[in-house]
Amino acid sequence: MRSRLTVALGRTARALARLRGGGSGGTAFPGLVMERTDPGFLARTLERLPHGVVLVSGTNGKTTTTKMVVQLLRDQGLKVFTNRTGSNFVRGVLAALLTEVDAVGRLDADVAVLELDEAHAVHFVHAVQPRAALMLNVMRDQLDRFGEIDYTASLLRKAALATRDVVVVNADDPRLNGERFLDGLTARTAAFGVGPALRSVFLSDDDLRAEQAAMPDDDAPISRVSPADAASPCPPPRVRLVALNGNKATIEVDGAEHRVAFAIPGIHNVLNACAALTLALEVLGERADLPRLLTTLSEIRPAFGRGEVIALDGRPVQLALVKNPAGFRMSLMSAPTAQVGTVDRGRPGDAATAPAASPTPTGADAPSPADELIMVAINDEYADGRDMSWLWDVDFSSLKRTGVAVVTGVRAWDMALRLRYDEVPVGVVEPDLEAGLDALRERAAAEDRPMRVYTTYTAMLALRARLGRLTKVEEVMK
């Protein structure tokens, strides 16, 4: 009876929220109402699932990796519940449940795969014990909310300590692969990672800081933080990314190499795919069909706003979510403007050909009609993080040749100043997001060029809503 009342109350709250929002929104408020009025609803609903709850957390890649895990498990025959909108607080999970349960609160699913914010993962595990957890990485992010990076790692460790069966960690992240994180876990540990030739591409937070601190004219190699060694409690990676060549990757699974051509854009998403595959193999156990898993992985498309491509006036516009230095760096490296080269395997110690920044433009390096028009949209709302000083830790020199057509959002002028320091030409500075998108659209039409938008979270939601009024956009917030 109580669940029936909670569902009715939540759906009423959602209807009111959508009415006030003009027919959209309502992804968190109904969950907040449910959380306050019936704190036990979450546990009552999820603890009935035969395969339990799988948690995905970490600084970067949560939404995309969660989507990958969901698709992998579904294609292996499981009915999966997930919080697909990326609303990753506990109230977001409750709001997602509201769209899936029946009138009495029953959920027709075998397993739940949930993306959770690092801090809210701790609140979640107090209510529901996960069967499995995936810890992707620990990067500096939203310093105004999380403080320093070791605190973020401590939050993930609390979630790992509560996990029952298996915790999957990034073997190359020094805050996840060591005794400080793994000691005392009751669940078994599995890992994913990269081969030696790719460690200069997929940097840990400590590597990034060492790179930023190095003098530009210093020829000495940067000392990289080593992955887990033989004395570490972290096991060798079950899935390892050993080579990249465009959208084609060589992935080592349990010691055997497999070649996969990915549909999803972004070199960072290939590593996310390795993480998702590791988790799926652990959850499925002996039932796992590896060839089918690899086929599924190759076909996965981006999550909304995370490399998503939308057609506008017959031209593609790609939305690339950015929220911290590491994520912005990987998005820039994945773009055509970065002049990405082949990243091949090589022997340990050999130099790999990694994505390189574009040189300072000369007359021959002027933008061509085939180049994407770039827009950068920066907001500083709570969900973005108020502290935007992290933008000064990003190297924007790869944008010198093409320049940035439009800078928009609440912090447009701050972003334009940052680009000026890296000598990146800027066309229009327009703080209003809709006006900024209109300016980008107008120039793209005049020059017949594709578009790419680097955007923080709340700016992405606003731009996507605006695009939804101009063209066909997948609805995810139902």
pLDDT in tens, 142-179: 554 445 788 899 999 999 999 999 999 999 999 999 99
Tell me, yes or no, if 108 is annotated catalytic: no
pLDDT in tens, 206-238: 777 666 555 444 444 444 445 555 567 899 999
Please report where in the chains the tokens 């809503």 appear, as a residue: 465
pLDDT at 369 exceeding the cut of 80: no
pLDDT for residue 352: 42
pLDDT for residue 25: 52
pLDDT at 339 exceeding the cut of 60: no
Domains of the chain listed by start with CATH number: 1-210+232-299 (3.40.1190.10), 306-336+369-470 (3.90.190.20)
Catalytic: which of 254, 289, 313, 387?
Answer: 387
In this structure, what are the phi and psi dihedrals at residue 405, rounded to the nearest 5 degrees?
Answer: -70, -45
In the structure, what pLDDT confidence band is assigned to residue 22 with cuts at 50, 70 and 90?
low
The Cα 368–Cα 363 span in angstroms is 11
pLDDT for residue 14: 80
**Contact at 8 Å (CB) between 424 and 433?**
no
pLDDT at 468 exceeding the cut of 50: yes
Which of the pair, 14 or 412, is modelled with greater confidence?
A: 412
Contacts made by residues 177-186, CB under 8 angstroms, sequence distance 24+ = 177/227, 177/228, 177/232, 177/234, 178/228, 178/232, 178/233, 178/234, 179/232, 179/233, 181/153, 181/156, 181/157, 182/233, 182/234, 183/233, 185/160, 185/161, 186/161
Among candidates 292, 385, 361, 370, which has minimal Cα distance to 336?
370
Task: Mention every residue, 6+ apart, whose C-beta is less than 8 A from residue 396.
Answer: 332, 418, 419, 422, 424
Helix (H) and strand (E) counts in the chain: 16, 15
Task: Provide the residue type at 427 as one letter.
Answer: G
What is the percent of the chain with per-residue pLDDT over 70, rounded to a whole number? 84
The Cα 141–Cα 329 span in angstroms is 13
pLDDT at 88 exceeding the cut of 70: yes
pLDDT at 253 exceeding the cut of 60: yes
pLDDT in tens, 259-277: 999 999 889 999 999 999 9
360 burial level (CB within 10 Å; 0-12, 13-18, 19+): exposed
pLDDT in tens, 273-326: 999 999 999 999 999 999 999 999 999 998 878 889 999 999 999 999 998 888
Residue 242's H or E segment, with its range, is strand 239-245
> CA distances (Å), 232 to each of 52, 127, 188, 225, 438, in order?
29, 31, 14, 14, 53
pLDDT for residue 304: 78
pLDDT at 368 exceeding the cut of 90: no
| Chain centroid offset of residue 201 CA | 17
pLDDT for residue 149: 83
- Report the chain's mean pLDDT, rounded to a whole number: 86
Give one word for 258, left, alpha or beta, with left for phi > 0 and alpha for psi -120 to 50.
Answer: beta
What number of CA atoms fall less than 13 Å from residue 406's CA on the CB side?
A: 26
Task: Mention every residue, 6+ apart, whose C-beta is less than 8 A from residue 133.
Answer: 54, 55, 56, 57, 159, 160, 163, 166, 167, 168, 187
pLDDT for residue 140: 79
